[in-house]
Structure 1
Amino acid sequence: MRVIRKLTEEDFEKYVPLIRGAFPDTEFDLPVTGGNLRERFVMAHNQDNSSEFYGLFEDETLLGSMRLHHYTMNVFSHPLPVGGVGLVAVDIMRKKEKVGRDLLSYFLRYYREREVSITLLSPFRVDFYKQLGFGVGTKVNQYRVNPSHFQNRGTKKHIIRVTELDQELVLDCYQRYTELTHGMIAKTEMEAKLMFADPDDHIVAYKKDGRIEGYLVFKFKRLCPEDNFSAYDLIVKEFIYETPEAFSELCTFLSSQADQIQRIILNTQDEDFHHLLVDPSNGYDNLLPESNIQIHQTGVGIMYRIINVPKLFGDLSDHNFGGKTLTVEIRVLDKLLPENEGNTLVHFQGGRASLLDEGTPDVTIELDIANFSSLIMGAVSFQKLHDYSLVKVSDPRFKKELDQLFQPVQKPICMTSF
């Protein structure tokens, strides 16, 4: 018989071989203790109250595991509790036995029972998680830029190297940015500690009048050490800024590294980032058809899943859905979580949503939970879903109003890795 339960300290003897088999050669974001991997996981298990480790057991044999994360996320300026899952691992001898599916099903119900309406994860395979109802979020673009192609405004007089005295100011800057940015996740206490724990990480910041208004976290990667000990790439891990002035001086700092750095590698969900750069080409000299220059590589970032549709609209009762006045019946299909499937009648008055127990809708829409999750998070427009035949509309005359209803000001931005 299969049982899913929270891991005990003794279970980590079984957990480490399992996780090593699932993620060989992976560096795990864990407390630095000087001990072995088991001790580091045990420390995270005991000290990080924002996460929990769970395992799927069959007759006390550990077949799979996952790490649940209790987060707070900015959802259209509403700080909502959300559930994240990471390190989903299955014993290599028990693949294709629905271990992962059972773990994910438990994960969804775990948070639904705690009245959370949104869950999220970083996918290892998009198709697998789409089948489980997770919708694609904002794309991530990786730039590989020559430092001299960042704009150099001629001054970086407010740029400092962050010391222990500045740590709280850095975290305050991140929190202010989170409060203004849809999709951002507040740093947990453990994440805040780990941010300053890696000796290979460097942090510089824009500091003015005793306040940090932007910062960079980065590390160096040596290139061809046997040939040239002084050639490096600079890998940006976190880039936060609140003002154009902070952004400008941080870009000037990056530009000034050109004498030693060959490429700055930066992952961003900013779709307009290429406008900043003198030359956004990635250095591979690849041409797309019709002589179009390749400027970045693109990947799928965070995937989202709504696990309680009526609860979500209750959570967002103060959000303005496009200023529209309209009554919509939303029919959601959810095979994995049938208690989330069904019809939700929502009346929008001047953009404010309220649930109705009964009534006649102006229009009915029908779509699966993955596409609904992408739509409600603002990762895709209603018009595009309709163009792709991924949503059904009872009356096509309402297509424009529905597109305006769900049109976000901003796509979700997430810088949290888990």
Structure 2
Amino acid sequence: MSTKSEGLFNDARTVIPGGVNSPVRAFRAVNRDPLFIRNAKGSHIFDVDGNEYIDYVCSWGPMILGHAYAPVIEAVKKACDNGLSYGAPTENETVLAKLILEAVPFMDKVRLVNSGTEAVMSAIRVARGYTGKDKIIKFRGNYHGHSDGLLVTAGSGLLTESNPDSAGVPKGYTATTLLADYNDKDSVEALFNANKGKIAAVIVEPVSANMGVVPPKEGFLEFLRDITKANDALLIFDEVITGFRLAYGGASEYFGIEPDMITFGKIVGGGMPLAAYVGTKEIMDVVAPVGSVYQAGTLSGNPIAVTAGIEQLKALKADKDIYKRIDDYAKKLEEAYKNNGVPVNRVGSLLSPFFTTGEVSSYDDVLKCDTDKFAKYFRNMLSNGIYVAPSQFEAMFISDAHTAEDLEKTINAINNSISMN
């Protein structure tokens, strides 16, 4: 007997590539068709067939206060009465910018954009414009959005040109993107030595969260800070995942490291299409209309998204104990996986179980995971009413809306799902 989700997916495939507007939603990695969602509230998500799930995707992170958080929803509804888009400045853009800068007081200016991809793409352009250099270093397994120059995961070697990871991206677009290994200081140092005076920036997920959660080894982020300074290059933290989640000040507060630029994602828009990149005055003043680095967008600083972001950041600022609460819940889930013999990495309220053996601290470690075992575990969890990311290589996110009852049900589901694997 077919479900409504199956029917909607079949219909979607006739007009949308693969039936989805972002690839991971297709559920291919877990060998089933996707759920079509009707609505969400608090820690729960509901599909069109009437099934209810405890949600650990949280729209890939930004729903840190839970779905349909009342102050955000009420403010957005009120803002909609004034119109959806102006393409002109509003006072609330400045209000949100100041809230963001309060979280990272060593930064001076913010530019609002529409997505994490756009924030990172723009920050890289700024770094190149500011330094007058072309090359950047990124890390295998770190995802920085789908702009052409950053769609590189693996190449023929660390000191050679990198090949694009997607069809449709000319090789020349990635020729200035150098690849290092996350948590490997020697690979970074080798690239700086081979490209003296040519590297504009190092961009890194301070906690890698797009190959599963892989924390930085002790001293790794400090090393990146030191080597970039020594080579007149910028250090960019891609905090699309970690920003306002590990702490109110994100990974820079959590680890005590001050990068030169930071990119934030949809969490600064309360889950709506909004993102930002921030930097010091000296760096950000190269951006048009003040400087010569061009970046623009009609919907940048959209009044509805900005309204949602203000309410979310105000709530996080007013109750910073939220971070201890969600971290404690994540720790209990971490223990449940460990008790079932599954390796798990956790940083704050981000965690990933890995269906492998031994420590997972690098991209090569991640590639050893048994994705078939993960797919079976995913389907078991779903049948137990738990919605986790449909990929071994994504994080679990805890929200402040999750309850002790949710955790108890989730731990029982973990026990059942892994025992069935």
TM more than 0.5: no
When normalised by structure 1's length, the TM-score is 0.28
Higher relative contact order (CA 8 A, sep 6+): 2
Q: Which one has a larger percent strand, Structure 1 or Structure 2?
A: 1
When normalised by structure 2's length, the TM-score is 0.28
